[in-house]
Amino acid sequence: MVFPTDENVIVGLDRADDAGVYRISDDLALIQTVDFFTPIVDDPYWFGQIAAANALSDVYAMGGVPKTAMNLVAFPIKEMDITILRRIIQGGVDKLSEAGVVLVGGHSIEDRELKYGLSVTGFVHPQRVLVKKNLREGDRLILTKPLGTGIVNTAVKAGMASAELTARVTNLMAALNRTAAEVMASFDVHACTDVTGFGLLGHLSEMVCGSGLGVRVFAGRVPMIPEALEYASMGLIPAGAYKNRDFREAMVAFAEPVERAHRDVLFDPQTSGGLLISSQGGQATELLEALKQNGVRDAVEIGEVIAGPEEKIWVI
Ligand code: CO
Ligand code: CO
């Protein structure tokens, strides 16, 4: 399908990036994104926070600053207590306030299945847009949140996770990528995306596709929720992880010592995951240090961009 475009579209549908970007003037561009889903945690207030953090994340992944948002609500008003919806929206609004974003509208419909999310609008300088497909040889890859939320959420649904683990992972999903985005804005970053449904290796595959370059990932360095690794070794893997693997396995080569459980967590679909940043090699150490100093304590350098194997990910 061919979609109409114009000369001010900086990132459009053809790029399949985290958000659309449209030039307003020589020093201002608009970022637009939308995301909504069914509840991923039981607590309505936390679900609202996570949905908002997740929707905002795509603006941060483009190197932008979110400014306004609108609610998207589908609610089974005949079967569900309206106070549940109020808690969800309160969670969303509180997360937006934390991000310095104002809610300016929204729309709700009656639906048999509850869904909530937001459309978010942000700003970026047209010369500072961070697309996902712009890896350069010698770049270092930094990931800002640990992996494993999909696996842990599966364990939560199966009643296997402790209250402490549930709370820890809920907090992780509700955490904004704001600080990470603000810190990387003063460094020479070439490409960025946020890790969500396709898992780390799925999103990395998107970055590598068409780059003519390769990527080396150090599996042992990739931050992972420890319990997610345990559950993965017990075979507790969400269906989405298998889908991600089947879709992208031709692009990924694992060194033999990389254990099965590690491989599964690398494909685990994330909700509101961290930023995956490709930074100019010489600045990566400094960027990592700045991230940690500003409170992004989980940030780790997980790999590097190399000349070859071309458009392949080598996990060692
Ligand atoms: Co995204
Ligand atoms: Co999105």
- pLDDT, one tens digit per residue, over 107-124 is 999 999 999 999 999 999
Residue with tokens 């970026």: 124
The superfamily (CATH) of domain 139-315 is PurM-like C-terminal domain (3.90.650.10)
pTM, two decimal places? 0.96
Question: 79 C-alpha to center of ligand 1: Å?
Answer: 33
> Are the beta carbons of 75 and 108 closer than 8 angstroms?
yes
Question: 232 C-alpha to center of ligand 2: Å?
Answer: 26
Query: Phi and psi of 171, rounded to 5°?
Result: -60, -40
Of the listed ligands, the closest to the CA of 20 is 2
> Are the beta carbons of 213 and 309 closer than 8 angstroms?
no
Of the listed ligands, the closest to the CA of 276 is 1
Q: Which pLDDT band, with edges at 50, 70 and 90, does 14 fall under? A: confident
Specify which residues 143 forms β-bridges with.
Answer: 276, 300
> Are the beta carbons of 305 and 278 closer than 8 angstroms?
yes
Question: 81 C-alpha to center of ligand 1: Å?
Answer: 32
Question: 187 C-alpha to center of ligand 1: Å?
Answer: 21
Q: How far apart are CA 288 and CA 141, in angstroms?
A: 10
Q: Which two tokens stand for residue 71?
A: 């609610």
Q: Calculate mean pLDDT across residues 68-96.
A: 97
Question: 36 C-alpha to center of ligand 2: Å?
Answer: 9
Question: 17 C-alpha to center of ligand 2: Å?
Answer: 8
pLDDT at 4 over 90: no
Query: Phi and psi of 264, rounded to 5°?
Result: -65, -40
Q: Calculate mean pLDDT across residues 189-209.
A: 97
- pLDDT, one tens digit per residue, over 219-255 is 999 999 999 999 999 999 999 999 999 999 999 999 9
Question: 193 C-alpha to center of ligand 1: Å?
Answer: 6
The superfamily (CATH) of domain 9-128 is PurM-like, N-terminal domain (3.30.1330.10)
pLDDT at 15 over 90: no
Q: What was the pLDDT predicted at 272?
A: 97
Question: 192 C-alpha to center of ligand 1: Å?
Answer: 9
Question: 234 C-alpha to center of ligand 2: Å?
Answer: 31
Question: 152 C-alpha to center of ligand 1: Å?
Answer: 21
Domain map (residue ranges) of the chain? 9-128, 139-315
Question: 282 C-alpha to center of ligand 2: Å?
Answer: 30
DSSP strand E in the chain: where?
9-11, 20-25, 28-37, 65-75, 102-110, 115-124, 140-143, 189-194, 214-217, 252-254, 275-279, 300-306, 313-315
Closest C-alpha among 268, 273, 229 to residue 248: 268
Question: 256 C-alpha to center of ligand 2: Å?
Answer: 34
Of the listed ligands, the closest to the CA of 120 is 2
Q: What was the pLDDT predicted at 283?
A: 96
Question: 130 C-alpha to center of ligand 1: Å?
Answer: 12
> Are the beta carbons of 142 and 288 closer than 8 angstroms?
yes
Question: 39 C-alpha to center of ligand 2: Å?
Answer: 16
> Are the beta carbons of 98 and 91 closer than 8 angstroms?
no
pLDDT at 60 over 80: yes
Q: What was the pLDDT predicted at 16?
A: 85
Q: Which two tokens stand for residue 25?
A: 């003037």
